Amino acid sequence: AEHQHARYNPLRDDWVLVSAHRVKRPWQGQLEKPPPEDVPRWDPNNPLCPGATRANGEVNPQYEGTFVFPNDFPALQPDAPEPDDSDHPLFQAAAARGVCKVMCFHPWSNLTLPLMSLVEIRAVIDAWAELAVELGASYPWVQIFENKGAMMGCSNPHPHCQVWASNFLPNEARLEDRTQRQHVSQHGVPMLLEYAEQEACRKERLVVENTDWLVVVPYWATWPYQTLLLPRRHVCRLQDLRNGERDSLASIMQRLLIKYDNLFEVSFPYSMGWHGAPTGPYLEEDCGHWQLHAHYYPPLLRSATVRKFMVGYEMLAQAQRDLTPEQAAERLRNLPDVHYKRRAK
């Protein structure tokens, strides 16, 4: 807690420098604008709202629950042409095809996941699983991710996520596939299943837990309040979750996100995403080395207006953090379980 040291991340096969004493240094750098607190429930100019007109001229239905539609500006398209052949190994290109979808969590723009009911969050989980099955039938990778807050590049103040399916395994997926496969080969047990068991016993990085799930600030965390959401049993993919596990997932997600919001009493920005075993042609292969998990990467460090920047040493050498994962976990763990907006005044 007092001296710098490096920690190994077995999931990414890299290291992070921990320099806890640096959190005491004065800050005279950039201050962010706190998220707006006056988002209207419905805005005809917000393209994600029910009944609103999107950029392509399509009008959203008057949806009352989750709503999925094709991304109007997709990064991946199913009919992209093959690139030209390379004339040198230093100039390689490969085909990149896929589909991109947007999923609205709720019809109201002034809600976020921690302020939604457990029934509403469960509906989101079920919709995630349905998309994973639908797109995973043919695509090797289905990436479900949420960018929350303008600080994380979210351009629409409305509860939503994106789902990109690709005909290739992205870099992070290929890396995690390799490290998890190696761990099973060497130790005979899925890496993140063993890791969850260890963290459940040690408790020092535990944030919240229930019968089926636990959330920790991982030992190798890079972002200040980064967390890892893990099932307690061996589960390869989101669609493999049992009915009760989906209910308990809704509960633990709500508890985690309430704590995030309560940390600085602000709608906490983050990027999160699910990682599970590859799909498409991999459905016929043994993917038992995989363990389903979700990453949460929030940028805030000291307050609602001071963020962690990944620049300089982080970009040119290796990741570095300014407080220990144990300190971050303790702070999150001790926060109230009632959202600050719903506490008695």
Residues catalogued as catalytic: 160
314 labelled ligand-binding = yes
22 labelled ligand-binding = yes
Q: Quote the CA–CA distance of 30 and 150 in Å, as a whole number.
A: 15
Place of tokens 């590859």: 278
Tell me how far the alpha carbon of residue 140 is from its chain's centroid: 19
DSSP-derived letter for residue 53 is B
284 labelled ligand-binding = no
Tell me how far the alpha carbon of residue 26 is from its chain's centroid: 30
> CB burial class (10 A; 0-12, 13-18, 19+) of residue 338?
exposed
176 labelled ligand-binding = yes
313 labelled ligand-binding = yes
State both tokens at 304. Answer: 């609602």
65 labelled ligand-binding = no
245 labelled ligand-binding = no
Cβ(145)–Cβ(271) below 8 Å: yes
102 labelled ligand-binding = no
168 labelled ligand-binding = no
Which ranges constitute the DSSP H helices of the chain? Answer: 118-136, 171-187, 191-202, 243-264, 313-316, 325-333
293 labelled ligand-binding = yes
- Please state, in angstroms and as integers, the Cα–Cα distance from residue 283 to each residue in 18, 112, 174, 226, 288, following that order: 39, 33, 16, 30, 11
Q: Which helix (H) or strand (E) holds 254?
A: helix 243-264
3-class DSSP state of 51: coil
Taking the CA of residue 148 as centre, how many other CA atoms within 13 Å lie in the half-sphere pointing to its CB? 25
Q: Quote the CA–CA distance of 318 and 218 in Å, as a whole number.
A: 17
158 labelled ligand-binding = no
Cβ(173)–Cβ(278) below 8 Å: yes
106 labelled ligand-binding = no
203 labelled ligand-binding = no
154 labelled ligand-binding = yes
104 labelled ligand-binding = no
Question: Residue ranges for the binding site for UDP-alpha-D-glucose?
Answer: 22-25, 55, 71-72, 147, 153-155, 162, 308-309, 313-314, 320
Question: Residue ranges for the binding site for Fe cation?
Answer: 176, 275, 293, 295
Question: Residue ranges for the binding site?
Answer: 22-25, 55, 71-72, 147, 153-155, 162, 176, 275, 293, 295, 308-309, 313-314, 320
